[in-house]
Chains A and B, each alone.
Chain A
Amino acid sequence: MNILRKKSRANLPFSETAIELFIRLCGISSILFVFGIFFFVFREGAGFLFSGLDVKEFLTSVEWQPTSLNNKRYGAFALIVGTFSVTILAMCLAVPFGLGAAIFVSEFCSPKLRETFKIIIELLAAIPSVVWGFIGLTLMNQLIIVVFKAPIGLTMLNGGIMLALMSVPIIVSIAEDALKAVPDSYREAAEALGATRWQVVYRVLLPAAKNGLLAAVLLGAARSIGETMAVLMATGHSVNIPSGPLSWIRTLTATIAAELGEVARGDEHYQVLFIIGILLFTITFIVNLIADLVIKGIRQES
């Protein structure tokens, strides 16, 4: 086998070698980019992270006063809570809807309707996040005021709904692929045993597609954590520990977006914003790690 391969490589025309090299580079580049970005973000923030920043204050204090003239305080606790609370809320809304829609599209609807649905869902994914933010700022703001009698509609709920709308298309398309990937023989076998359509979905398809569905949910969550513009516009952008869905909040990403544009390069404030970037990196890393472990656990179980 090995000899055969070597031999064939020697005989390869130049174009094939070039293409192979190019594809190899594409593969390696993604790794390089991730490490490059991590290196850059870390380098910009490292100076202040290791000398000067009170890490305990950064993680536990709610006092975010980076532009104070005499008493600068960098407490990101409210921002961390904001990011997690709005993401969790968004997932509570998006996961049932997304998985439900995926099950409907893949199992219950007619082929013609399915094509239309898929196109519309993909269009939903193509709407830029600033447009979602604008809808949140105007339409949803007014709606929340009217429906919930809230004093102001720029709240965690508003941001959560916007994030849910943005992550539903991702969840639907990946979950639908996962369900499609379950072999038809499973469905046929279950139906032959007398299972109803719902029993087929619940007892056979969902367990069989578990990994893919989990991946869909986690990718949706990752989209929510990383989203910036929509939450910046819709959540009120206020340093505040939320007491419920109608409180206003501020997220880590929105803070970077709002403040990085106007800080002097190399400044303490500039470096703290990069430390927030490191924190976001760490959070996504942990989320991905958990996902990997869960999927591995599921695999071993089966």
Chain B
Amino acid sequence: MRMNSRFSYLIIKIILVLAYGFVISSCSPKDSESVASKAASHVTIKNKGSDTIVNLAQAWAEMYTGVTSSVSVEVSGGGSGTGVAALINGTVDIANCSRQIKPKELEQAAQNTGKVPQEFIVGYDALAVYVHPDVPLDKITIPQLAEIYGENGTITQWRHLGIKHSSCPSDKIIRISRQSNSGTYFYFREALLGTDRDFRIGSLDLHGSKDVVEVIGRTPCAIGYSGMGYATSHVKMLEVATTADAPYYAPTLKNVLAKTYPIARPLYMYSLGEPTGAIKAYLDWILSAEGQKIVEKLGFVPLESN
């Protein structure tokens, strides 16, 4: 009898746990259900790719539901490469890319789907160089960054930059980087080292743009790079100059638009073939003043024409 009551006690516990899980999980199915029922009678645009752009793409998708109720946009991240791969497989309508598509990928897409991807520049992204606010440094040059990050680089300690960093006892610069296939990684490497030199191994390769800023905010010894839009109050952005003699520019909207800030790049969207119908309307809206307003709101740089 005692055994029995203990058993039923266990069963009750299990039921409670399951019920708890069900309550939590039942919140999301409701949401997706409504999306699904909407999608059944409307057009759904599938949009996938760069993690740099994913927040922006999501903001566009949300705003666009207010513009027209007959189109919904499904956005997912995964990286520029993932987006292009999906485009090649023909499983998405628009791929987001923080780098330009490679000729090989264009060819594969054309072979696989019979349509040539069309390129749209939808905004600009400035990569900011982040450090902890305790670092007594406000400016850095591209050659210095190259020596910090590049193979056989000569700058490994903060004192090599001519500063005394008292809140980093070891004085060793901790390099924060991104996983080696992210668009951000490729772009930063190219901007610093060109195509001939690689990054030195031993950097901390984090998985997302946000993680980089988050970790630097907790690590006085660290330096890292990430999109300008990811800045928080826990980190400091450095002013960057192309050479020691050149003027330094802060990663601001103004400097990016004036093309004076050295580490800025365009953000791309690729459609499969010449866009038509709902996809064309969506891309046009993104490029319009209204769409570009959101670009600025999320910390990216809108197109000049606006």
Determine whether B280 belongs to the interface, using a CB cutoff of 8 Å to chain A.
no
Q: Assess the B179–A258 pair: CB atoms within 8 A.
A: yes
Q: A67-B180, A71-B198 are in contact. Are A261 and B79 (CB under 8 A)?
A: yes
Q: Assess the B215–A64 pair: CB atoms within 8 A.
A: no
Out of B168, B196, B201, which one reaches A62, CB within 8 Å?
B201
Q: How far is the CA of A151 from the CA of B171 in the complex (A)?
A: 10
A150-202 residues with Cβ-Cβ distance < 8 A to B are 151-154
Selected interface stretch from A27-35, A233-241, A284-292: A233-241
Determine whether B10 belongs to the interface, using a CB cutoff of 8 Å to chain A.
yes
Q: How far is the CA of A260 from the CA of B207 in the complex (A)?
A: 13
Q: How far is the CA of A112 from the CA of B2 in the complex (A)?
A: 11
Q: Assess the B10–A238 pair: CB atoms within 8 A.
A: no
Out of B85, B172, B205, B214, which one reaches A151, CB within 8 Å?
B172
Out of B9, B185, B207, B218, which one reaches A142, CB within 8 Å?
B218
A242 to chain B, nearest CB (A): 11
Q: Assess the A259–B198 pair: CB atoms within 8 A.
A: no
Q: Interface digits, A137-154 against B, CB 8 Å rule (1 contact, 0 not)? A: 110011001000101111
Q: Assess the B10–A151 pair: CB atoms within 8 A.
A: no
Q: Number of B interface residues, CB 8 Å?
A: 42
Out of A66, A78, A262, which one reaches B79, CB within 8 Å?
A262
Chain B residues with CB below 8 A from A261, complex form: 78-79, 81-82, 181
A2-26 residues with Cβ-Cβ distance < 8 A to B are none
Q: A259-B180, A262-B79 are in contact. Are A119 and B10 (CB under 8 A)?
A: yes
Q: Assess the A238–B168 pair: CB atoms within 8 A.
A: no
Chain A interface main SS type:
loop
A129 to chain B, nearest CB (A): 14
Out of B81, B195, B218, B220, which one reaches A262, CB within 8 Å?
B81
Determine whether B6 belongs to the interface, using a CB cutoff of 8 Å to chain A.
yes
Chain B residue at minimum C-beta to C-beta distance from A237: B205
Q: Interface digits, A53-72 against B, CB 8 Å rule (1 contact, 0 not)? A: 00000000011111111110
Out of B17, B174, B198, which one reaches A152, CB within 8 Å?
B174
Q: Assess the A69–B170 pair: CB atoms within 8 A.
A: no
Q: Assess the B202–A232 pair: CB atoms within 8 A.
A: no
Determine whether B211 belongs to the interface, using a CB cutoff of 8 Å to chain A.
yes
Q: Interface digits, B139-153 against A, CB 8 Å rule (1 contact, 0 not)? A: 000000000000000
Q: Interface digits, A237-249 against B, CB 8 Å rule (1 contact, 0 not)? A: 1111000000010
B237 to chain A, nearest CB (A): 20
Q: Assess the A232–B201 pair: CB atoms within 8 A.
A: no
Q: Assess the A152–B201 pair: CB atoms within 8 A.
A: no
Chain A residue at minimum C-beta to C-beta distance from B80: A262
Chain A residue at minimum C-beta to C-beta distance from B216: A152
Q: Assess the A115–B198 pair: CB atoms within 8 A.
A: no
B158 to chain A, nearest CB (A): 11
Determine whether B192 belongs to the interface, using a CB cutoff of 8 Å to chain A.
no
Chain B residues with CB below 8 A from A259, complex form: 179-181
Q: Which 9 A-B pairs have the closest CB atoms?
A: A262-B81, A262-B181, A239-B201, A151-B221, A258-B179, A236-B204, A67-B180, A68-B198, A152-B219
Residues of A bordering B, CB below 8 Å: 62-71, 78, 111-112, 115, 119, 123, 137-138, 141-142, 145, 149, 151-154, 232-233, 236-240, 248, 250, 258-259, 261-264
Instruction: Write 20 A-B pairs (CB below 8 A) sorted by A numbering.
Output: A66-B180, A69-B195, A70-B196, A115-B9, A119-B13, A123-B17, A137-B211, A137-B215, A138-B214, A145-B218, A151-B219, A152-B218, A152-B221, A154-B215, A238-B205, A239-B205, A258-B207, A261-B78, A261-B81, A261-B82
